[in-house]
Every structure is written in C-alpha cells, then in structure tokens.
Amino acid sequence: MKKILITGGAGFIGSHLTRLFVTKYPEYQIVNLDKLTYAGNLENLKDIEGCSNYTFVKGDIADLAFLHSLFNQYDFTAVLHCAAESHVDRSITDPLAFVTTNVVGTVSLLQAAKEHWKGNMEGKLFYHISTDEVYGSLGAEGFFYETTSYDPRSPYSASKASSDHFVRAFYHTYHLPVKISNCSNNYGPFHFPEKLIPLCIHNIINHKPLPIYGKGENVRDWLYVEDHVRAIDTIFHHGRVGETYNIGGHNEWTNIDLIRELCKQMDAKLGRPAGSAEQLITFVKDRAGHDLRYAIDASKLQHELNWTPSLQFEEGLSKTIDWYLANTDWLKNVTSGNYQKYYEDQYNKR
C-alpha cells in the first residue's frame, strides 16, 4: 500500500491534488502536511475531510525534527511536494521567507526522506512540483524545454530554481528516487485572490479597479488546475525516475487580452451591460523585473506519457468564474482580515 505525504495540500494546487489522490486511490493513505499560511485553507478540502484514507497534519516543512518524527510515525513511501511560498510580488517584498520555505523547507524534506529510506530506496519516490519560472523570461519567440538552462529572475523563481537543483543533487549524490515537473501558470477554483485571475474576478464582482501592471503586454501560458494535477498523477505513476517533465497548456495570452476576455464573460454572467467590467481596467506601475513571456513546450509529456490538456481556455475560464460566483462566501472569508492590509500595501503605492 502506498503511504503518501502531500505537502501544501491546503493551498490552491495542493488541494486539487489531494482531492484527486484521496478520491481516485482509496487504497492509498494520504497525509496532508500544511503550515496553513495565509494561502492555506482547510475549507478547500471540506468535501474530503471525512475520508478514511485522508489525514491532515499542521506543521512546517522547514522543521527537520518534526519531519523525522512524521516519517517515523507514518512510514511514507512517497512524497508529493507542493508546499511553497508562491507569489512573485510577495517575494519582492520579503525574499527571505521564500528561502526559508522553498529552499530550506525542500532540503529538509529531502533530508528526512533520505534518512528514512536509506538502505531501501526501492519503490520510493520524491516528486517535486515546480514552475516554468525557473527558466527565466522569453522574448517574442521560442519555448521552454526541459533542457533550457535555468535563468531565474525573481526571488520566487530563484528559490524554486534552487529547490530544483537540490532535488537533482539528492538524486545524483544519494540516489534518492526523484521526479520533477515544471508547470506554467495555473487557474481554476480555490485560487487565492492575490493572483491575477481571481484578483480580477473578485474586483469585478465588487466594482473595484483591475490593476494591470505596465502595459499588460506580458504573456503567460495558462493551464486549468485540474489538467495540471492530472499530469502530476500521470508522471507520478508512469514517469521515469530522475526525469523532469514540463507541463503547459499551449495557451498564451497577454495579460490585457486575458482580462478583456474575463471582463466580457463576467458582464454576461452578472447580467451587466457589455463593456462595464472593461471600464475598471487601470494600468498601474509595473512589477520590478517583470518577466516578459513564459511558454512551455510540453511535447515530452505528450509523446512519452500521452498527456494533453483537456479544456480550451475560454471554457476553463467560464468554469472558473462560475465557481467563484457560486462560492462568494469562500471569497469573502479569504479576503477579510490580513488580505485587506496586503492589498493596501501592494496597490496603494502603485
């Protein structure tokens, strides 16, 4: 029987991943370890909290002594490592928090797995969930391949690049069985409203300005979160140990075009006159070191493991908006308290 430690399972991607594994594999024991930072929310997992193959543990991945005791208690056979500080703007304000969780936390987990599995690595797996931002920024042409040299440019991407390097170092030095995937921007339900899409959905609902950094010409490659966790499931079970797989949607949008599409769909769904949401678009001071373009080549995953995205972007965006409109209480809960202060600090100065 597999006993799997999922870290960061109360966050955006982690909650979708946890739900998929708990419901699809009732024979696996899943432990979700999460510190419950501002980004972690057990409401995201309400529908599975009573499942007999699911346990939640509150704790910090940077606490090695605690990790040792957790490994001793549960005797994990695999780790799906999702926990991270994940927001670029916060990394610009507080880079050390990103080093602590993303670098020290990842190395602590690697260390705990290595110690616990030493002498018997057979059938074990440390799966590290990472981002395409480690590759840096593209110009108008080209794609990120698994072989693209790392060139991180924000404190967030530098910390994720560092964690990827440590995962590979543990593979080569200690033969820890590892896999890494680097995914493009995700969107979907339970996305914390500090990121572009949920922030703009929240602001449109509340008739608030939609802050677009610079001229809105930066390009991101968007993937529906359920397609991402389906890819992780595929790589976890069928990918080759020691390999890296890029995951992406072949779905590039400039920020301004994306927000215009969002505005159009939201006006229709809210029964407001066409063009009302677009009037909220406000160009604000650009992000420092703002990466121009990300675009993933996911052909290795497609050819080797037969994975392709299942949703067209307009359809995925429509499902996402519907979820937020049906879950205004969730949105209200996560945007009360500390969120207000974060929002004022981030946007009043722009």
Nearer to ligand NAD, 127 or 171 (CB): 127
Q: Which stretch binds ligand NAD (CB under 6 A): 79-87, 107-115, 233-241, 327-335?
A: 79-87
Reduced to 3 states, what is the DSSP secondary structure of residue 47? helix
Output the CA torsion sign for 331, 334, 337, 342: negative
Torsion of CA 16, 19, 20, 26, to 10 degrees: 170
Instruction: Specify whether 146 is catalytic.
Output: no
Which whole-number Å values give the CA distances from 99 to 11, 41, 82, 136, 210, in the listed order?
19, 22, 15, 18, 30
84 binds ligand NAD (CB under 6 A): yes
10 binds ligand NAD (CB under 6 A): yes
Nearer to ligand TYD, 60 or 291 (CB): 291
Write down the least CB distance from residue 218 to ligand TYD, Å: 4
Beta-bridge partner residues of 7: 33, 81
The C-alpha atoms of residue 198 and residue 203 are separated, in whole angstroms, by: 8
Reduced to 3 states, what is the DSSP secondary structure of residue 223? strand
Q: Which stretch binds ligand NAD (CB under 6 A): 33-41, 64-72, 202-210, 337-345?
A: 33-41
The C-alpha atoms of residue 49 and residue 38 are separated, in whole angstroms, by: 20
Contacts with ligand TYD by CB under 6 A lie at 88, 185, 195-196, 199, 211-213, 218, 220, 255, 287
Residue 196 contact among ligand NAD, ligand TYD, none, beta carbon within 5 to 8 Å by kind: ligand TYD
Residue 105 contact among ligand TYD, ligand NAD, none, beta carbon within 5 to 8 Å by kind: ligand NAD
155 binds ligand NAD (CB under 6 A): no
Which whole-number Å values give the CA distances from 240 to 124, 223, 312, in the listed order?
13, 23, 28
Instruction: Specify whether 133 is catalytic.
Output: yes
Nearer to ligand TYD, 177 or 198 (CB): 198
**Residue of 34, 133, 146, 194 with catalytic role:** 133
The C-alpha atoms of residue 63 and residue 317 are separated, in whole angstroms, by: 38
Q: Which stretch binds ligand NAD (CB under 6 A): 35-43, 147-155, 263-271, 290-298?
A: 35-43
Structure tokens at 7: 């870290």
**Which residues contribute to the site for ligand NAD (CB under 6 A)?**
7-8, 10-14, 34-37, 39-40, 60-62, 82-86, 101, 105, 129-131, 160, 183, 185-186, 192
